[in-house]
Each structure stands twice: as structure tokens, then as C-alpha cells.
Amino acid sequence: MKEVKRILAIFLLAVFCASALTACGESPAVSDSAKSGETVETKEPLKEGTSEEVVEQENITINFWHHYSAQSPENETLMNVLIPKFESENPGIEVNAVSHEWADLHDKILISAKSETLPDVARLDAAWIPEFNKMGVLVALDQEMNDFNEVSQGLLESAMETVQIDNSYYGLALNTNTKILFYNKKALEEAGVSVPTTMDEFIATTKKISGTNEAGQQIWGYSEPALSGWNLCPFIWSFGGNLTNPEQTKASGYINSDETINAIEMFAELYNANAITGWNSGDIPMTDGFGTGRYLMILEGPWKIAEMAGAYPDFEYGTAMMPAGNGGSASVLGGEDISMFNTANKETSWKFMKFMTSEYAQVEMSKCGQIPVSKKALENDIVKQADFAPFLEAIKVAKSRPTVASWSEIDNELNSAVTAVVNNQKTAKEAMDELALKVDKLLSE
Amino acid sequence: MLTRTTSNKLRILSLLLPGLIIFGIFTIYPILKLFIMSFFEWDLGSMFEQSFIGLDNYKNVLMDETFRISFVNTIVYTLVTVPSQIILGLLVAVYINNIPRLKISFRLIYYLPVITSWVIASLVFKYIFNTEGLLNYFLKDILSIAENNIRWLDSRIGGLSVAMLLGIWKGIGWNMVVFLAALQTVPKELYEAAEIDGAVSFTKFKNITIPYIKGTILFAVVMLTIGGFNVFTSIKMITGGQPAHQTDTVLTWMYYKAFSTGEFGYSAALSFIIALVLAILAIIQFKVLKRDS
Amino acid sequence: MRLKKHILLYIILLLGVIVTTLPMIYMISTSLKPNGALYEFPPRFFPSISEITLENYRYILNEGKFYINFLNSMFVSTISVTIAAIVASALGFCISRFRFKGRKQLFGFIIVTMIIPGTTLILPQYELAVKLNVINKLSGLIPFYVAWVIPYSTFMIKGFVDNLPHELDEAVYIDGGSIYTVYFRIVLPLIKPSIASITIFNFLTAWEEYPWANTVINDNMKRTLPIAISGFFGQHQFTQWGYVFALSALSLIPVILVYIVFQKYFVSGLTAGSVKG
């Protein structure tokens, strides 16, 4: 008898183990509730209707992914100002905001799309919209939301173009930005050079101010934190080059044009002359390098102002437009959009998206360097007095990177090619010719 | 006497069952799934619908230059770290074994790197080997050996070397403990006999110790080879594959292809190739091990 | 002569100790410096006495997330090692003692899975996690950790049980005892040290695991410590090394405590495996 009990007990244990481990449910959706007895801190969302025990007035949770970095003032504003405000205005809705690093966010969304475990809403780099749209995971807002036109008219048309594909809109513009030149005032004065306004001056100045300081440490005239399109495009364009033809169907003849090659050669030359650096694993991170006087010029966005104020409050720097070359002064247009995924709880997600693009939220975010796209917010006094005035000037002449679905892959190939050039493994001509063929193929897919 | 009754069979089954379930679902199923995945194209859309493309994924992997770079990197990593760890670990074990006092304290300290997590150890190494870091300061400004700061992390060889140093640093402790244990099994009489014959330390080590712990050495070789192919976190943290995937190992490259570009089929084929290579290597090693013991 | 030789050995071992501990000491000394001083020139190994600050620790400890990440790691590691100990000891016992059908194949499978690096299976395991709906859940970590440590644990325990004399089992069977009596009354008490050693080993594995947790977990509040540490590590902006290393030092404390308390078992566990070969 005792035996039977024991066998029973062990079988039960086995079944328990198996069921506890495999949790439950077959439908893969992140926003489903955790029924498997997790720890207390898991504030799991319950979606209406999907749970077996729908309690009255159950909170709806929106999962919102973004890449405001975890320790940034933007994230502080989001967590401590915006979300509490939204939740108090919309009782019964909770926002679960998740911060990812920029590159991680792209990867996480890619993989979540494949495995059908997407969040409801995400803040996306405008350059990703074509790629995710091609995967078919973004909601066409103009078709689904009745008041889309109303909302969209309140936002800058130029910014809304980033979410427009084939006459449908796959998100709302959230903020815009571009990069301008930040320079170390003291160092340029001591070297007796003026702020470069042309490409030739930029090259000469960068070489001139590079060298060593009193402590015998290397000083670099300019720093670029990576060698991808975001970093290279301003130079390629200012040199008069391009990545693709205007129709974005062909790269040969553009990405390997003389102008583009000259821009890449300039990077390689300055790097080998110890005048620029920043993209290597062992380099000083950009903000630290600039703040401690090791990098004397950088090309950066409006967020840098708040960041410098936080990390190096006493540091004196000036700003200027991107130096102009044969192609004029052309910086790269950045900016983020807020999009909804097709697995989302659409009504509540839309409420949150409208809130994030509202005047209130846009003004709050402008305080930490996010340039608003809401027309009302742009008229607001706080915004008008914000310190991103020089950026507004630069945005007018800034250009977009190619808006194609394969941009992430093209960007990656571009990075590999230019890395080989600066490390003298290939000449710029060789590398860009090879690259042109690869990009042609990616564009035709 | 234990009989083959039904109730006994049931009892055995009841003890095996929890393990079989977990092992079956979470290990055996993924292995089979990996094999199946490697014949399908998963590039577009959801991972739940895909089309059969035969051996194309394998072809793509083997033709891929970056895969070859990462494979060579992994082989170099294994060839360098495995012998280094064994030699250094064995030396430390022999030394500790021969001192009269403080054996336990030394063993404790030498084991500390093993229990330090890979994430933490990698970050510390990255910080030390930074171009502006402590090591370069020491080499350039204190010792004046180097004229300029050495770019440890910025080249293929440099980045891999730092990862290898980390692997060796972290692995010595494990080898030490394994060999210390093995050294206890060598009968003292053998050494005494050798001393009467007038053998010196090194001869004793070569003629008595090494043959006696051969089995353990082979065991360590097998385990460390697996570990060498498994290197992932250190590369991801220290160089992230930079510059331009030159420092990727097979697993970081596989992870990149799977989770950054979504090419599941490619990654599955790559994983399967690696598993196969290791299985063959291990079978050879085990065969040698069996023959010798 | 003998004394001289010993002194030489001590000197060599002490030099090794310096190399071994240097990185950890540097980590702790960096965590005691004010955050801004980390890119100062010249870099110093130790901060000056007046400079020493607990600011970084205060920041980490005041941020509520630390405790949550810590508890997550604790929860996942403890549950995983407990299940693994129960399951692996039963498996090891059966494989060692009984000649059941498929025994050879099962043991063969266990050996083979020991050989395959865990990370190669990350892709199909991810697919499985999606199907089981455990993405972004702590329950998406535990069964996978258990499955990873089962082969090695079973292998070790089988080796240990192999070395136990069969006479004790026989005596129990003659007295009318069952398999359960042998397992619970005879074998389990005798293999306690071996279970302890694999448990410590498995605890380490689960405590420091990075790739899988990084793949499966999204929410900040569900991250385990390794993910929390790497999250501090901004790519091209500015890394706050002071915070990174303070958090790292704190996360090492439990492991070092476990290790020092159980170090006796650590060694005996490793020994069993290596001597068996």
C-alpha cells in the first residue's frame, strides 16, 4: 500500500515538474498574463478577453519599447512625467515601458516579429520603418484610425514623410533631429584657427589641432563613433557624392562615384594621420573624449547638449553647421517615429500614441533635447527658447538616408567596406566597387 | 535479489520520468528541430511558416567568408587556450601540492577567476585593455616599453588575444583543482622509489606524474575543447565582433545571423556544423581516452 | 635545501596570485572612485584615500531595480538547481544501477549533449520558448537552465553511484526493501556530497548565464543580474564604469560566499568526474 502511494507521489511530482516547466498556453503573445506562478515583481499585463478570469475593470497594459537610454534625461521624463500623466488621464491603462539599446531594439523587434511576440507600440528609428513595413507588422494608421487625419495634420509634414510608404501611414512622427558640429572652444582658440565652414577648412583644421597634450596624450581633431551611414552620409553628401540614385534602385555609379570615394579616402587619410578616431572598440567613448579634451570636434545631435550638461557641466563648447563641400552643407536627417504593431490592442495603443505626439508630451521632451514635430509644440514659448535653435536651421538642409527595406543590411555592408579602407586592407576604389555590386543586389530584392 | 517485476519496472520508470521529460523537451527536441530548421528558408515573415530549400543553407554557410574567418578564429582560440590552461593549471597544481602550508588558501584564491562571471570578467578586461587604459599607461608611461598606446582591442589579432588571455586567466583555476585531485592518486611509493634511484624533480614529473594522470589530462582536453568552441560572452562584450566581424567566433557570428538579421536557416545550418565538428572531435578524444586507460 | 625549494615555490605562487587577483582588485578600486575620475590622466590603480567614495554603491543600492534583478537571479538560480538536483540524482542512480531497455542510448545521448555547446541550441530553444509562451518570463529561463545542467550533473552522479558497493543494495532487497528504499535510504544519503558539489556548480551556471537570458527577457523588471550589468554598458556614449563595477562587485558577493562555505564539496565533485574520466 505504501508502495503504491510512493509511486503515485513520484508520478505526481513528475507531472508537476512538467506542467510547471512548460507553463501553459499555446498562443504566443507577450502581453498575455503569466499564469505560471512567477515572482511578485512581475507586473504582467492582462489583456481583456484573453484571460480565463476576467476581473471587472481589469487594467490594460500597453507594452512600449523605446531606445531612450536607461540613464538619460529623456528616460527620466518618460518614466516620471509622461507615463504617470498618461495613466492618470486614462484610468485602467498602464504603460510598461522597456528601454533597449539602439541596435538591440532593432534586433529585438526583428526577432519578436518573426516569433509573433511583439510589443504594442514602439519608438522606431525612422530608417527602420521600410524594413519593418516589409515584414508586414506595422499597422496602417490612416486605414484603421478614424481621427488619423486630424492627428496627422497637427504634425510636421516633412517628418510625417518618414512613416509614409505607398500613400499609407505606418506611424506618427515623434521627434526629429540632425547633427551639427560641436567644437572645443578653448582648443580652437589656442590653436589660432577659426571654426571650419568648408570641407577644406575642416580637413586642414582637423589635422592642425590633432597632436599631443602636455601630458603626452594623443589628441584627435575629430571623432566619429562608428562608420555607418549615419556617420558617413554627411561627408559623402557634402563631397557631392551619394549612396544610390534618386529612385533608390541602383547604387553603382553613386556609392562608387569619385565624390563618394573621395569622402571615404578623406576618412582613411585623417585616420591614418591620427587626426580622427572613435569607432574602434578600444577608443574613448565620444562624450568622455569630448568632455575631457581628447576629441576636439564631433558631429552630434540635440541630445548631446543635455548629456554634456549632465556629465561635463563646466566644459565650454560651441556649435556650428556641418562644413560645406562641393555638395553644400548637408547633414543627415534623423528622427524617430512611434508605430503600432498589428498584434497590438489598437484603441489603447492609439490613445498612447496620440498622447506622445501631443503638445504637452512634446514640450516636456523638448526640455531634454528632443526636437518636437507637433506644430502646436513648436509654437510653444518653452520650445522657442530651447537651445536647439541651431539644429532647426540645419534640419532645413538635412537629407534622409535611403528609405529602403534593406537599409540595415546596406548599412552593415557599408560599415564593413569602409572599415577595410581605413585599415588599409583595401583601397577606397576597390572596396566601394565591391560594395556597389552588393548594394545593387540588396536594392533589387 | 531484485526481480524484473512490473512494479519494479514502474518504480524505475517513475524515477526516470521527470528527467526524461525535461531532457526530451528541452534538449532532444531542440537538437532535432535544429536539424530540421537547417533545411528551410526562414528569412521572410513569421518563423512559423517556411519553405524547404534543401542544402542551400549549408552551402551558404560554407561559401561565406565571414564564417570562415569566425571558424579560423575559433580554432585559433581553442588551440591557444587549451594547452595554455592545462600547462599553467598543472604547474600551479604541482607547486601547491609540494608546499607544506597554505595549500587551501592558494587553492581558494586561484579558483576565484572561475567563479567570476563571464560578463564581469569581460568588462574588467575591456577596461584594462582599453587604448587609454591602465595596461597601456603602465607599458608606455611607467615602463616605457611601448612608444605609443597599443590598440589592443581594435584589430583581429589584438581583440582575439585579449579574449584568449581572459579565457586562460579564467580557466587556470579549474585545471588546477582537477589536477590537484589527480595528483592525490599518484602513489607516494613511486616517488620514493625514484628518489632512491636519484631522479631529479623534472624526471620524476615526466616519468611518473604525467603517465599517471594521463586520463585526467585527456579529460581536461575534452572539456576545454568544448569550452573553446563555446566562447561567446567574452567576444560579445569585449569587441562585439569588431572591426567588421573580424573577431567573431562561430557562435557570435551564428547569434548575429540569427538574432540581428533573422536568417534562421543559415544559423541553424551553422550550429549544426559546429555541433557535428565537436561531436567528431570529442569521439576521437574519447576513443584515445579509452584506449589509454 | 628543501627550505630553499619551498621558498622558491611560494614566490612563484605569490606572483601567480597577483596576476590572478589583479583584475578583481582593479574592479573594486575603480568602483570606489568618483564616477568622473575614470578617464583622468594618469590612470591610477588605487584612488587616493581622500577620494574613496561609496557614491557608486549608494547609487546602485538606492535604485530599486538592483534588488529586483538580484531577486530574479536568486529565484531563477535556486529553483533551477533544486529541480536539477532532484532530476539528475534519480537519473544517475537508475542509469548506474539498472539495466533497463534503452539505458545505453540514454547515457549516450547524455554524453553527446555534454559535448554540444549550449549556445548552438539557442535558436531552436528560442522557437520552443515562443511555442511554450515563456518569452519575457522568468519561467522561460528555469527549464532551459535545468536542461543544460542535467547531462553533466547526471554524468557526475552516475560516476559517484558506480563507486558505491552493491552489497548494501542487496541487503536491502533481501530484507524486502524496494528500489525506493535503496534510493531514498541508502543511495541519497551517501551521494549527498556529490549532489552538493553539482548544486554549487549549477548555481554558478545559472547565476552568471548571459546569452539565453539576454535573448528571452525584455522587461527591465525581469532582467537577471548579468543582463542588468551589461545594460549599464552604453555603446558609444559614455559608460559609467563606476556603476558597472559597483554592481559587478555586489553581484559577486553571493557566489563568493557560496564558494567559500562549500569549497570542500567543490573539489570532491570535480574529482569524481576527472578520475572517472
Q: Looking at residues A431-438, what average pLDDT do you find?
A: 92
Min Cα distance B243 → chain A (Å) is 7
- Would you call C115 and B267 a contact, using CB atoms and an 8 Å cutoff? no
Q: Per-residue confidence at B14, pLDDT binned at 50, 70, 90?
A: confident
Dump pLDDT digits (tens) for B45-104. 556 667 777 788 888 888 888 999 999 999 999 999 999 999 999 999 988 988 888 888
Strands (DSSP E) along C116-234, which ranges? none
Q: Does C121 touch chain A (CB under 8 A)?
A: no
Q: Residue B52, exposed/middle/buried by CB under 10 A (0-12, 13-18, 19+)? A: exposed
DSSP element (H, E) containing A296: strand A295-300
Min Cα distance C162 → chain B (Å) is 17
The owner of cell 541550441 is C121
Q: Is the pLDDT score of C49 beyond 50? A: yes
Rounded to whole angstroms, how far apart are CA atoms C133 and C230?
Answer: 25
Q: Looking at residues C148-173, what average pLDDT do you find?
A: 86
Give the nearest chain A residue to B42 (CA atoms): A114
More confident residue, B234 or A12: B234
3-state secondary structure A142-210: HHHCCCHHHHHHCECHHHHHHHEECCEECCEEEEEEECEEEEEHHHHHHHCCCCCCEHHHHHHHHHHHC
The C-alpha cell that represents A157 in the structure block: 509634414
**All residues at 6 or more sequence positions from C269 whose CB lies less than 8 Å from its CB, including other chains:** C156, C193, C194, C196, C197, C198, C200, C201
- Would you call A114 and B15 a contact, using CB atoms and an 8 Å cutoff? no
Q: Per-residue confidence at A328, pLDDT binned at 50, 70, 90?
A: confident
Whether the bond between C42 and the residue before it is cis, its omega within 30 degrees of 0, is yes
The C-alpha cell that represents A304 in the structure block: 548631446
Number of domains chain B contains: 1
Instruction: Answer whether B82's CB lies under 8 Å from B221's CB.
Output: yes
**Paired strand residues for A334:** A177
Rounded to whole angstroms, how far apart are CA atoms B241 and B237?
Answer: 9
- Would you call B244 and A419 a contact, using CB atoms and an 8 Å cutoff? yes
Whether B30 maps to a domain, the answer reads no
- Would you call A70 and C232 a contact, using CB atoms and an 8 Å cutoff? yes
Q: Which pLDDT score, from 0 to 100, does residue A265 have? A: 92
Q: Looking at residues A193-217, what average pLDDT do you find?
A: 88
Q: Residue C4, exposed/middle/buried by CB under 10 A (0-12, 13-18, 19+)? A: exposed
In CATH terms, is domain A60-170+334-395 a member of 3.40.190.10?
Answer: yes
- Would you call A42 and C138 a contact, using CB atoms and an 8 Å cutoff? yes
Dump pLDDT digits (tens) for A221-230. 999 988 999 9
Min Cα distance A56 → chain B (Å) is 34
Q: Which subunits have 3 or more CB–CB pairs within 8 Å of chain C?
A: A, B
Q: Which pLDDT score, from 0 to 100, does residue B45 have? A: 56
Q: Does A117 touch chain B (CB under 8 A)?
A: no
CATH for A180-332+404-444 (3.40.190.10, 3.90.1010.10, 1.10.8.60, 3.40.50.410): 3.40.190.10
Question: A276: helix, coil or strand?
Answer: strand
Rounded to whole angstroms, how far apart are CA atoms A130 and A139?
Answer: 13
Instruction: Answer whether A11's CB lies under 8 Å from A26's CB.
Output: no
Q: Does C231 touch chain A (CB under 8 A)?
A: yes
Instruction: Answer whether A207's CB lies under 8 Å from A273's CB.
Output: yes
Whether B260 maps to a domain, the answer reads yes
Task: Compute the CA torsion angle A123, A127, A129, A131 (nearest 10 deg).
Answer: -130
Length of chain C as a residue count: 277
Average pLDDT over chain C reads 83
DSSP element (H, E) containing A300: strand A295-300
DSSP per-residue string spanning A334-385: EEEEEEEBTTS-HHHHHHHHHHHTSHHHHHHHHTTTPBP-BHHHHHSHHHHT
Whether the bond between A91 and the residue before it is cis, its omega within 30 degrees of 0, is no
**All residues at 6 or more sequence positions from C184 whose CB lies less than 8 Å from its CB, including other chains:** none
Hey, what amino acid is at C190?
Answer: L
- Give chain C's radius of gyration (CA, Å): 23
**Paired strand residues for A276:** A222
Instruction: Answer whether A44's CB lies under 8 Å from A38's CB.
Output: yes
Dump pLDDT digits (tens) for A16-55. 444 444 333 333 333 333 333 333 333 444 444 444 444 4
Residues of chain A neighbouring C232 (CB-CB closer than 8 A): 70-71
pTM score, two decimals?
0.86
Q: Looking at residues B241-270, what average pLDDT do you find?
A: 89
Q: Is the pLDDT score of B274 beyond 80? A: yes
Question: A95: helix, coil or strand?
Answer: strand
Q: Does B243 touch chain A (CB under 8 A)?
A: yes
- Would you call C117 and B278 a contact, using CB atoms and an 8 Å cutoff? yes
Rounded to whole angstroms, how far apart are CA atoms A164 and C95?
Answer: 63
Q: Which subunits have 3 or more CB–CB pairs within 8 Å of chain B?
A: A, C
Q: Which pLDDT score, from 0 to 100, does residue A27 have? A: 34
The C-alpha cell that represents A220 in the structure block: 584627435
Q: Looking at residues A294-318, what average pLDDT do you find?
A: 87
Dump pLDDT digits (tens) for C200-225. 888 888 999 999 999 999 888 889 99
Instruction: Answer whether B280's CB lies under 8 Å from B222's CB.
Output: no
- Would you call C218 and A98 a contact, using CB atoms and an 8 Å cutoff? yes
**Paired strand residues for A340:** A121
Instruction: Answer whether C229's CB lies under 8 Å from C247's CB.
Output: yes
Start and end residues for every CATH 3.40.190.10 domain found in chain A: 60-170+334-395, 180-332+404-444
Min Cα distance C213 → chain B (Å) is 12
Q: How far is CA C170 from CA A81, B2, B3, C163, C173, in A?
A: 72, 8, 12, 15, 5
Min Cα distance A29 → chain C (Å) is 7
**Paired strand residues for A165:** A168
Hey, what amino acid is at C157?
Answer: I
**All residues at 6 or more sequence positions from A97 whose CB lies less than 8 Å from its CB, including other chains:** A64, A65, A66, A78, A79, A83
Q: How far is CA A239 from CA A6, A201, A257, in A?
A: 81, 13, 11
Q: Give the DSSP letter of residue A332.
A: B
Give chain C's domains with CATH numbers: 1-53 (no CATH), 63-274 (1.10.3720.10)
Q: Residue A88, exposed/middle/buried by CB under 10 A (0-12, 13-18, 19+)? A: exposed
Count contacts between A and C (CB, < 8 Å): 115
Rounded to whole angstroms, how far apart are CA atoms C53 and C31?
Answer: 9
- Would you call B21 and A419 a contact, using CB atoms and an 8 Å cutoff? no
Of A70, A99, A115, the CB nearest to C135: A115
Give Dmax (Cα) for chain C.
78
Dump pLDDT digits (tens) for B109-119. 998 898 888 99
Rounded to whole angstroms, how far apart are CA atoms B254 and B245?
Answer: 11
Rounded to whole angstroms, how far apart are CA atoms A227 and A259?
Answer: 17
Q: Per-residue confidence at B293, pLDDT binned at 50, 70, 90?
A: low
- C78, C219, C240, C243: best to mutate for the A interface, most A CBs within 10 A: C219
Those of residues 154-173 in B touching chain A at CB distance below 8 A are 154-155, 159
Instruction: Provide the domain limits for residue B202.
Output: 64-292
Among C275, C163, C266, C162, CA closest to B218: C275
Of C87, C143, C274, the CB nearest to B182: C274
Min Cα distance C43 → chain B (Å) is 6
3-state secondary structure B94-126: HHHHHCCCCHHHHHHHHHHHHHCCHHHHHHHHH
Q: Is the pLDDT score of C48 beyond 80? A: no
Q: How many CB atoms lie within 10 A of CB A387?
A: 13
Q: How far is CA C154 from CA A7, A11, A61, A291, C161, in A?
A: 22, 20, 43, 55, 10
- Would you call A416 and B244 a contact, using CB atoms and an 8 Å cutoff? yes
Residues of chain C neighbouring B120 (CB-CB closer than 8 A): 27, 229, 248, 251-252
Instruction: Answer whether A315's CB lies under 8 Å from A202's CB.
Output: no
Cα-Cα-Cα-Cα dihedral sign, residues C262, C263, C267, C268 = negative
Q: Which pLDDT score, from 0 to 100, does residue A1 have? A: 45
Q: Which pLDDT score, from 0 to 100, does residue A183 have? A: 93
**All residues at 6 or more sequence positions from A372 whose CB lies less than 8 Å from its CB, including other chains:** A175, A362, A363, A365, A366, A378, A383
Q: Which pLDDT score, from 0 to 100, does residue B286 have? A: 74
Min Cα distance B270 → chain C (Å) is 9
Rounded to whole angstroms, how far apart are CA atoms A363 and B288?
Answer: 71
Whether B84 maps to a domain, the answer reads yes
User: What percentage of chain C exceeds 90 in pLDDT?
Assistant: 22
As for the ipTM of the complex, it is 0.86
Q: Is the pLDDT score of A10 beyond 60? A: no
- Output the domain CATH number for residue B210: 1.10.3720.10
Rounded to whole angstroms, how far apart are CA atoms A294 and C186?
Answer: 69
Q: How many CB atoms lie within 10 A of CB B291?
A: 7
Residues of chain C neighbouring B116 (CB-CB closer than 8 A): 24, 252, 255
Q: Which subunits have 3 or more CB–CB pairs within 8 Å of chain A?
A: B, C
